[in-house]
A = this chain, B = another copy of it.
């Protein structure tokens, strides 16, 4: 089993969906990634920053999932990063209502010494310079670096983002962002162009339409599980990424065959995350539930046809 280092936001979210709204609840990319990866029993650590207003109980909950929180800096006099958003009726689009960077504005990540030799590094969506700083602090080159990013960094810090993209092994990105980054509408062509920017593997997330894994000429597709009800999509992409890298860290195998399994597990875990507000579902998920859902994924996609 490989050690997993996660850098990303630990935050407050306030979410409104057609089904209800929340006050400030636990959110943040690293939170979702960590909770998702925790299902594979990996030795993981989160590097992040929160303010003095961040509840101790949230940190305890993360610790209880065997996530090392020594890399979460607490700025006593500062306030925690806060995001608020409202989803449209179809849940596929949302408006951001509030983004208060707070302590995130001056975040200088510090990797704990005992995680500088992590074999697996997950760079959650953050300023590319923060992501780069974490890469540079590693004492041994990770076996696999996975990067998540978004259109905001393409719009505002493209050169720095491209520097990071050159150094990583897997990029996870949604379909519209893949089109923006590559200038290609076809996702097959977009992936080809992004490969040339550095990453050996390109994962394109299509939300309710699943995710595509590209490895040059090879393509694998993980569907999203069709659900009766999607309650809150917040964190689904991060949960996907956490399941993906958590499975890889657990198995310590970065072959294409194993990456296929990893995207299936990513999709599996994301299908739970959207069932309740925020992190609620992920905090109470059992191994049995994940295994049962894996069976559903098999039934959804596996077929037997003889080639003639």
> A58 contacts the other chain (Cβ, under 8 Å)?
no
Q: Report Cα–Cα, A187/B227, bound state, in Å.
A: 8
Please report which residues of chain A, range 29-83, place their CB below 8 angstroms from some CB of chain B when the two chains form the complex: none
**How many residues of chain A are within 8 Å of chain B by beta carbon?**
38
Least CB separation from A228: chain B residue = B188
Query: Are B291 and A228 in contact, with the CB atoms below 8 A?
Result: no
Binds B, one of A2-10, A155-163, A297-305: A297-305
Q: Chain B contacts of A305 at CB under 8 A?
A: 261, 264, 294, 298
- Nearest CB in chain B: distance from A72 CB, A: 31
Q: Chain B contacts of A302 at CB under 8 A?
A: 301-303
Q: Chain B contacts of A291 at CB under 8 A?
A: 307-308
Query: Are B223 and A210 in contact, with the CB atoms below 8 A?
Result: yes
Query: Are A260 and B227 in contact, with the CB atoms below 8 A?
Result: no
- Nearest CB in chain B: distance from A267 CB, A: 11
- Nearest CB in chain B: distance from A240 CB, A: 16
Query: Are B218 and A299 in contact, with the CB atoms below 8 A?
Result: yes
Query: Are A221 and B223 in contact, with the CB atoms below 8 A?
Result: yes
